[in-house]
Amino acid sequence: MTRTSRSNPTPASDSTFSDIGSRNGRIFHVLDPRQFDRGRLDELCALATRMRQYAKSRLGSRSFQTLLPHKRAMLYFTQPSTRTFLSFENACHLLGIRTSEIRDPAVSSEVKGESFEDSIRTFSSYADVIIMRTQGPGMASQSAALMDRIGRPVPIINAGSGRDHHPTQALLDIYTLGRSFEQRGGIDGKTIGLMGDLRRGRTVRSLAYLMKNYKDVRLIFIAPEEFAMEEDIKQDLRTADIAFDETDDPASVLADLDAIYITRLQKEHDLQDESSSFDHLRFRIGPEQLPSLRSDAVIMHPLPRGPELDPAVDDDPRAMYWRQERNGMWMRVALLVSIFEVDGELPR
């Protein structure tokens, strides 16, 4: 194991990032996981739980429909997605928001040469919020800057941008961790292993960024050297004084973990054939690894999965990844309620 020590005892200044996307101290655009401090995370998690409780009753569920029927959402997903798309779409519909979608640039006027910015500006003529997944990094931020520049009050939500960020996935992961550790003092003090293609996995990158909001958390990055976590994340953790270790030997750390977060090989980002060197037999959770995990450990995966997560694990009570999917819809409901500032209209 390579031990990476805490090198900077100065806590991160959230003021550096908390202004990203915010308006009057509230969330507006959702672009980067670093814009969420502990207060915002706790508020969103509590709101997601409140909303799902109300939804259990017919009256509560019906009252959701009256919250945002005057709003329209554009779902612009030009990179493949199942659960992020569907959970946002269903979150919108639960709140009465009408949705439009483009899932393939080949069916938009981009194919005729319309620029990305002109396309976003066009969506903002019809929609009150644009939720976007893009192949490349930085496109949500570029869109938010465009909206701000032309003075159009349309929030942009980053639903996954290339290799760099997936902030709403990180929010639902925090929500899932918090619920899983509800009876064990929450996320503070927990040891969390992140395993797989850490270099190119935007979900693990975004989740690692959020960990600086929790006290005495220890992260263990578990990956072959070629797929190790990138330096920008490690530097951010050092600055925030979050302890982390790195190892290429999963067996040596499984018993230490309160949670293991597995991620798939991101073959779509191969420049040549880098993925062929990844050892799926070594960096995986299957029936043979389960006895090494603690009886109260939590097994998470953003899905979709590959060979790194054996379907035989699905029946294990420690498997949380199907709950993650469902939690994602409620976290996205909470986010939309918060962005459109209708949380005050909910019954207490």
Applying CB under 6 A, the residues found at the interface with ligand CP are 81-84, 160, 169, 302-304
Nearer to ligand CP, 146 or 171 (CB): 171
The minimum distance between CB 83 and ligand CP, in angstroms, equals 4
b (16+ CB within 10 A) / e for 166-177: bbbbbbbbbbbb
Torsion-angle region of 21 (φ positive above 0: left; ψ -120 to 50: alpha; else: beta): left
CA 183 to centroid of chain Cα atoms: 23
HEC string for 156-208: EEEEEECCCECHHHHHHHHHHHHHHCHHHCCCCCCEEEEEECCCCCHHHHHHH
Nearer to ligand CP, 63 or 81 (CB): 81
Nearer to ligand CP, 2 or 82 (CB): 82
Which residue is nearest to ligand CP, using beta carbons?
A: 84
Nearer to ligand CP, 303 or 346 (CB): 303
Question: Does residue 47 contact residue 332 with C-beta atoms inside 8 Å?
Answer: no
Inter-residue long-range contacts of 52-57, CB under 8 Å, 24+ positions, other chains counted:
52/330, 52/333, 54/346, 54/347, 55/94
Running DSSP on this structure, what letter comes out for residue 105? G
What's the alpha-carbon Rg for the chain, to the nearest Å?
A: 20
What token pair was written down for 86?
Answer: 């569907």
Nearer to ligand CP, 81 or 135 (CB): 81
The minimum distance between CB 202 and ligand CP, in angstroms, equals 8
Nearer to ligand CP, 44 or 254 (CB): 44
